[in-house]
Structure 1
Amino acid sequence: MSDIDIRHHHSLPLPKARKAVEDIAKKLASKFDMDYGWDGDDLHFNRSGVDGRIHLTEKQIRVTAKLGFLLSALKGTVEQEIRRVLAERFD
C-alpha cells in the first residue's frame, strides 16, 4: 500500500469550492467507476485499488488516499494529476 497526502490552499467561497470538488468527483466516478459521497465537509471516494477522502475547509483542500498494490506503482503520476487538477480548479 502507498499513501497520498496533498494539501492545497484556495481562496474560493466554501460553497463554490464544494461545487468544484463535487464536479471533479462526478467526472472521476464516470471515468473510473468510482463511488463517492459527502459526510459533512469530507468527500469519501473508493473503487478497487483506491480508498480516499477530500477534506474541505474555507482555506484548504486536503486529498488523502490509500493506493492498492497495482496503483502504488503509479503513485507519482497520480499525485501529479491531482496537483494539476487542484491548481486548475482552485487557483
Structure 2
Amino acid sequence: MPELKIEREHTLGMDGARMLAQRWREQAEQDWGMTCTSEPGETADRMRFERSGVSGALTVTDVRFDLHIKLGFLLGAYSGKIAEKINANLDELLGPVA
C-alpha cells in the first residue's frame, strides 16, 4: 500500500492548531467523504480518518501537523496528485512552506 507522509510546522499554538484541524476535518468529511474521529491529548491531538481506499491520521501539536495517509491499490497510482492536492490545501490553511 502506498503511503504519504506530510509534515508541516506552524506558529499557531495548540488552540490555533486545533481550530485549523477542525476546519480540515470539516473539509475532509464534506468534500472527500471521510469519516473522522478525534482523540484529544495533553500535548498532541490525533484525528483518524478513512473512506474506501484511504485511511490515515493527522497528529496536531502546538508546533506541527503530521499527516500520514495510506492509499489503497487503486488510489496508489494517483499518490503524486493526491500529495499535491493535500499540500495545496495545507498552503491555503497555513500559508506556503518557507
Contact 1:25 1:36 in 2 (8 A): yes
Q: Counterpart in 2 of 1:52? A: 56
C-alpha contact (below 8 Å) 1:18/1:56 kept by paired residues = yes
Which stretches of structure 1, 4 residues or more, deviate above 6 A after TM superposition? none
What is the aligned partner in structure 1 of residue 24 from structure 2? 24
- Equivalent residue, structure 2, for 1:64: 68
TM-score (norm 1): 0.92
Higher relative contact order (CA 8 A, sep 6+): 1
The percentage of counterpart residues that share the same residue type is 29
The yes-or-no answer on 1:39 pairing with 2:43 is: no
Task: Return 5+ residue gaps in structure 2 as ranges.
Answer: none
Give the TM-score normalised by the residue count of structure 2: 0.86
Shift of 1:77: 0.7
What is the letter of the counterpart of residue 6 of structure 2?
Answer: I
Taking only aligned residues, the RMSD between alpha carbons, in angstroms, comes to: 1.0
